[in-house]
Structure 1
Amino acid sequence: MPKHALLFFHWSSQYKQHQHSLKSYCTVVQILVRANLLIDAQALLESAVSKNPNPGSSIKLVSETLLSTYESSAADPRVFDVLVQTCLKLRFLDQAFDSCCYFGDHGITLSLLSFNRMLHVAQRSNRSNLAWKVYEKMLENRVYPNQASVETMVNLLCKEGSLQRMLGLSDRIHGKRCAPVVLVNMALVLWMFEEDRIEQGFILLRRMLQKNLILDDIMSSLIIFAYCKTGQFDDAKTAYDEMRNRGCGSNVFVYTCFIRARADMGLIEEALRLFDEMHSIGLKLYDETYNCLIESCAKAGRLEESLAFYEEMKREGLVLSFSTFSEIVGILCDNGEVEKADEIFTALSDTGFVPDEAIYCHLINGFGRIDKAQKCISLYHEMQFRGLDIGPHVYAALVRSLSQCGKLKEAEKFMKKMEEKSVVLCQTGQCFSPMR
């Protein structure tokens, strides 16, 4: 009977020149899916989508019509999976996800197979952000990952370069390696927190815990991280107390969150007290803890303590981060510690650190203040050797520093180069004024 319906549909179209409506297409698709003729149903949906001059935009209309014909008949919910999988086959990934959300809003949840296919296509298409949205929607709809889902998301973490970060985070919180699904779920929640979707992240974390998709200490630590990130220190402290009452031990990640929160509020003494407390209970500090303290002390004008933390960090075999050095290099140079800044810069360069123009400007200005003209010129040649684009700001720093050192001929040479660079930028609509 379903086959007869399909034959009649095609016959009336070919021999009677009947123009079928979208509702007719969707009605026949419903009949075919109910009869388990999924390949025929998919072929008919492809035809319905492709009839429109803009197939991508027609999928929304197909979704709406499919839903209306579903509600008016005793149809099979697999029809919605067939549509989403048809979209994926036609490479309409965004439309497949939009349809998934549309059906979800109407109380219809896709199968795990459909979610896995969306994840796979998004990952293979380098659509990282969309893959995380699909994975979040999957958990939100209470469709829980299987091995295929987790393998796809682990591959995504590898592509993003985030897997090592998640492994390190699990070590710092839990003290040992966790199952891949836990790493993936940690990454999802952190991604949500980075987008400031804190409450949604909390809801998902608690749902994950109920399904053993995350560990209690990791869930609590991520909640504390979110509270600290948003400046809710009292809530973070309450969450920490609850965590301890449930038998979870202290960990270095949580302490680092507290230290950063206090430092960001300008409470350096409180941050240092927490640092001493970490030491006293035997927690081993990691690079993020030191980076936070080095940066915070430097910003507060406590350069001696900042440099002392840097030396301690070096002894522990840890490396200063690019972002921290970028923050403190100007402070060091402005306070006469340019040689120390240069020493740190050299040590970082040996680890593959690639400086930017702003860092070179700070160093050139710093060496100009202590009358080391040759060092300024050496930094310029170093930029050339590295193949870095030397912009007008660098030339302005060289002119200013060499003039301070009394090297007026050299300053004039760089002034000409700066003028040439400015002319080029003005011709491309990016005018530069060294007086800015």
Structure 2
Amino acid sequence: MRHLGEQQWRFFTLIPKRSPIRILGYFSSHSKPDPVSKEQQQLLVDAISESLQNRDNWDTLSTKFSSANLSDSLVDQILLRFKQPETAKRALTFFHWSSHARNLRHGVSSYAVAIHILVKARLLIDARALIESSLLNSSPDSDLLDSLLDTYEVSCSTPLAFDLLVQGYAKLRLLESGFDVFKNLTDRGFSLSVITLNTLIHVAAKSNRSDLVWRIYEVAIDKRLYPNETTVQIMISALCKEGKLKEIVGLLDKIHGKRCSPPVIVNTSLALKVLEENRIHEGMSLLKRLLQKNMVLDTIGYSLAVYARTKQGDLVSARQVFDEMLQRGFDSNAFVYTAFVKVYSEMGDIDEAEKLIAEMESSGIDPYEETFNSLIVGCAKFGREGESLKYCEMMVARGLLPSCWAFNEMVERLSKIESVKLANEILTKSIEKGFVPDEHTYSHLIQGFVKGNDIEQALKMFYEMEYRNISPGFEVFRSLIVGLCSCGKVEGGEKYFRIMKRRLIQPDAEIYEALIKAFQKTPVLKIGRLAA
């Protein structure tokens, strides 16, 4: 660094207040700044750098350079004079002095240069502080990541700067932005640390962002950032929080026949989640990578591949994968059979689905809830209500419970009063074993009883709803009121009409029409009472 002569030095000292004149473009507090030449800028950079090299304190710096006009470009140049680890603290001194003593609002580029310098010098606490300050105080249109990328080479930095950036986003709970930066960096080929991965998913999990937890983990696997034991622990905790750990463990027991390790549980959950979202191509690519790294078992890989093909409706390909699985010595399992049963049921080929269930049982493989649910819904949708009820009754007798969705799909399509009564009996048995009905369950049953002219039973279902604190909706009231009016019980219809209005549920034209017709058949009652 060249030494400044006496004549050059005077250009950067404090100009006395009594002198309003401009000296080579530098000005007193009473003057307006003029454009500064490149030579003058260089002199200023040299002067401030020399003062920092001499370890001048803030007061001295303020005395010497109170009139200096510090642009973002000049700040960056001065910081880069001290980019080596042994001089990094002087860069930090200048950064803070220019900010506090001069009230300079640093641009995002200056933050980026300072962060790189501090990271390279392993002054990580200071680097983290600047990252957080930049993220909190920079203007919305500034992008710290872009600036860090732009100044990465000139600062001779290390990738650790980007790890700290993602961790900074996590600490400030800027999770979506942090994930975008994480993905952007991995797309650019930066290899972030597993510590950064763990930090981001840990904060996402604590913030109840389970969706984001899995998105982050998926990107990590896709970019070959593989988990460690801490990652797996966080992901297992996330599964517990979602209430899905027991479900996935049970599923893996059906596929593998015995308990799997935590990493296998987590990785299978990820692959299954992607496939269930109908992202088949991404799911198969992910599954291939997991198999190559021995992160899932082969039997699980084959089973999920069959499931993926059935999700696409490609039964020929699914059967080919299944046959290859058997040829390689892996046993068939309930999950694979259920995948086939589900697709055949959705297609309306109930006979083929029933053959598969018979094949399962002859092989000593027990159908489970999803197997029966698929068949129940398939039978109901394709007009085989008797068989739908049969399979529902069968699964309850085996100690299994239908899903609420499957039960509702079945009851909604029942056309005979005998079937509705049987469904109600199955519901009673299921509730005793832990089944939790919802509003639609009761609504469909009430409509079924009303259509079958069993108003008394429909009313009992209504009272049961109230007892279970399930609020009846519009369809329940409509069915009851229309049903009561059609059988001449107009006062009962009027009663539920008033209850309906008290609960701020608006009647429609059908309800008014049913009540009016009922009143017309009952001269003693006044139609005007409806307006009360």
TM-score (norm 2): 0.75
Root-mean-square deviation (CA, aligned residues, Å) is: 2.2
The one of 138, 144, 148 equivalent to 1:52 is: 138
Match of 1:355 in 2: 437
Task: Give the partner amino acid of 1:27.
Answer: V
Say yes or no: does 1:9 pair with 2:64. no
Match of 2:115 in 1: 29
Alpha-carbon distance between aligned partners in 2 of 1:411 and 1:18, rounded to the nearest angstrom = 76
- 1:360 offset after TM fit, Å? 2.1
Match of 1:294 in 2: 376
Alpha-carbon distance between aligned partners in 2 of 1:425 and 1:142, rounded to the nearest angstrom = 55
Match of 1:74 in 2: 156
Match of 2:145 in 1: 63
Count matched residues: 426
Match of 1:272 in 2: 354
Say yes or no: does 1:249 pair with 2:331. yes
Per-residue CA distance 1:344-382 (angstroms, 9 max, x = gap) = 121222234333333223222322344433222222222
Task: Give the partner amino acid of 1:102.
Answer: N
- 1:419 offset after TM fit, Å? 5.2
Task: Give the partner amino acid of 1:98.
Answer: D
Per-residue CA distance 1:111-168 (angstroms, 9 max, x = gap) = 1000000011001110111111111111111111111101111111011010011011
Per-residue CA distance 1:52-89 (angstroms, 9 max, x = gap) = 255xx64xx10000011113443211010111112222
What does 1:397-416 correspond to in 2, within 5 Å?
397-416=479-498
Match of 1:160 in 2: 242
State the structure with more CA Rg. Answer: 2
Alpha-carbon distance between aligned partners in 2 of 1:287 and 1:17, rounded to the nearest angstrom = 68
The one of 298, 304, 308 equivalent to 2:386 is: 304
- Judged with a 3 Å threshold, the aligned counterparts in structure 2 of structure 1 residues 283 and 33 are, in CA distance, closer, same or farther, namely same
Say yes or no: does 1:189 pair with 2:271. yes
Larger mean CA deviation between 298-307 and 280-289 belongs to 298-307
- Given that 1:119 and 1:152 are in contact with CA atoms closer than 8 Å, whether structure 2 keeps it comes out as yes
What does 1:205-354 correspond to in 2, within 5 Å?
205-334=287-416, 336-354=418-436
Alpha-carbon distance between aligned partners in 2 of 1:310 and 1:91, rounded to the nearest angstrom = 47
Larger mean CA deviation between 30-39 and 173-182 belongs to 30-39
- Judged with a 3 Å threshold, the aligned counterparts in structure 2 of structure 1 residues 224 and 26 are, in CA distance, closer, same or farther, namely same
Alpha-carbon distance between aligned partners in 1 of 2:94 and 2:491, rounded to the nearest angstrom = 91
- Judged with a 3 Å threshold, the aligned counterparts in structure 2 of structure 1 residues 19 and 234 are, in CA distance, closer, same or farther, namely same
Larger mean CA deviation between 272-281 and 300-309 belongs to 300-309
Larger mean CA deviation between 11-20 and 42-51 belongs to 11-20
- Given that 2:115 and 2:161 are in contact with CA atoms closer than 8 Å, whether structure 1 keeps it comes out as yes
Task: Give the partner amino acid of 2:157.
Answer: A
| Structure 1 gap ranges (5+) | none
Using CA pairs under 8 Å that are at least 6 residues apart, name the structure with larger relative contact order, 1 or 2: 1
Alpha-carbon distance between aligned partners in 2 of 1:384 and 1:19, rounded to the nearest angstrom = 63
Say yes or no: does 1:386 pair with 2:468. yes
Match of 2:175 in 1: 93
Task: Give the partner amino acid of 2:306.
Answer: I
TM-score (norm 1): 0.91
- Given that 2:99 and 2:106 are in contact with CA atoms closer than 8 Å, whether structure 1 keeps it comes out as yes
- Judged with a 3 Å threshold, the aligned counterparts in structure 2 of structure 1 residues 335 and 376 are, in CA distance, closer, same or farther, namely closer
Q: Secondary structure at the match of 2:413?
A: helix
Alpha-carbon distance between aligned partners in 2 of 1:415 and 1:37, rounded to the nearest angstrom = 73
- Given that 1:364 and 1:401 are in contact with CA atoms closer than 8 Å, whether structure 2 keeps it comes out as no
Task: Give the partner amino acid of 1:23.
Answer: S
Task: Give the partner amino acid of 1:44.
Answer: L
What does 1:92-171 correspond to in 2, within 5 Å?
92-171=174-253
- Judged with a 3 Å threshold, the aligned counterparts in structure 2 of structure 1 residues 434 and 180 are, in CA distance, closer, same or farther, namely farther
- Judged with a 3 Å threshold, the aligned counterparts in structure 2 of structure 1 residues 392 and 303 are, in CA distance, closer, same or farther, namely closer
- Judged with a 3 Å threshold, the aligned counterparts in structure 2 of structure 1 residues 410 and 111 are, in CA distance, closer, same or farther, namely same
Alpha-carbon distance between aligned partners in 2 of 1:211 and 1:202, rounded to the nearest angstrom = 14
More helix by share: 1
Alpha-carbon distance between aligned partners in 2 of 1:248 and 1:121, rounded to the nearest angstrom = 40
Alpha-carbon distance between aligned partners in 2 of 1:295 and 1:307, rounded to the nearest angstrom = 10
